[in-house]
Amino acid sequence: MSDDRPTPTGLAGGSNLDQLMPVVLFFVLFNTVGIIWAVLAATAWSMKAAVGRRNRGLAIGWWLPSVTTYLLARAAITIAADRELIEFGISTEAVYFGIGFATKFLIGIAVAVTILIGKPLLSWAIPKAVRLPQELLVDSRYTRTMANASWVIVFYQVLSAIWDVWLFNNSGFNLFFLARSGTNFVFAFICITGTLLYVDRKLEPIDSYPGLEKMLENTGRS
C-alpha cells in the first residue's frame, strides 16, 4: 500500500545559540539598561530563530505565526505595563514573567485535554516531524504510548510553572532568572531523555517501528 502522506521536514532545528542568546541578552540588558530593552532584544532574537527554522525548510506551519503573535503580544503588554498604559498592580517584571507562567499552565492543560479526548498531542505531532509507517500510526500501542508520553509534557509544564512562581516570589531577580534558566534546562533534559527511552521500549515490539536511532536520524529530513 502506497503512502501518499506529505513528507515531513521536521519540527526540530535551530542551534544552541538560538536557545541561549535570548537568555543572555535578557540577563545582560536587564542589568545594564532596563527591562524594556531586555524584553525587546530577547523577543527579537526569539523571532529571528523561529523565522530561521522556516527558512531552513522546517515544517513549522501554523507554529511560526502563533509563536510570533505570542512573543509580540507579551512584549507589547510588558511595555504597556512599564509605561503605565495598563495597570496590573504588580511590577513590570512580574507582568512579563507572569505571562510566561500562565502560558506554561495553559499549555499543560491543553495537552491534558488532547489526551482525555483520545487525541494525545504527540500521536499526531510526531508524524509531522518524522515519517513513520502507517501501520505504526494505527496501532493501538502507538496511541497508548504517545498518550503516556504526552502526560510527561503536562507534568513538565505544570510542575515547572509552579517552581517558577515559587522562585520568583522567594528570591531576588538575578537569582530567580539564573536558577530558573538552569533548573528548567536540566528538568527538560531529564524529561525528554526519559520520554524517548520510554517510547523506544514500548514501541520496540511493534514490527513496523523503525527504532529510536532511525527516527532521530530522519528528523528534519525530506
Burial class of residue 15 in the structure, from the number of CB atoms within 10 Å of its CB (0-12 exposed, 13-18 middle, 19+ buried) = exposed
Residues 109 and 29 in one domain: no
| pTM (2 d.p.) | 0.81
Residues 128 and 79 in one domain: no
Q: Which of 35, 62, 87 is the last residue of a domain?
A: 87
| pLDDT per position as a tens digit, 80-104 | 999 889 889 999 999 999 999 999 9
Residues 183 and 131 in one domain: yes
Determine, yes or no, domain membership for 51. yes
* Residue in the structure block whose three cell numbers are 509552579: 162
C-alpha cell recorded at residue 202: 514500548
Determine, yes or no, domain membership for 95. no
pLDDT of 68 reads 78
Residues 166 and 119 in one domain: yes
Residues 111 and 209 in one domain: yes
Q: Which of 39, 57, 87 is the last residue of a domain?
A: 87
Interacting residues of 189 by C-beta distance below 8 A, sequence separation 6+: none
Q: By residue range, what is the domain housing residue 157? A: 103-222
Is the pLDDT assigned to residue 63 strictly greater than 60? yes
Residues 119 and 186 in one domain: yes
Number of domains into which the chain is organized: 2
Residues 75 and 108 in one domain: no
| pLDDT per position as a tens digit, 158-203 | 999 999 999 999 999 899 999 999 999 999 999 999 999 999 999 9
Determine, yes or no, domain membership for 2. no
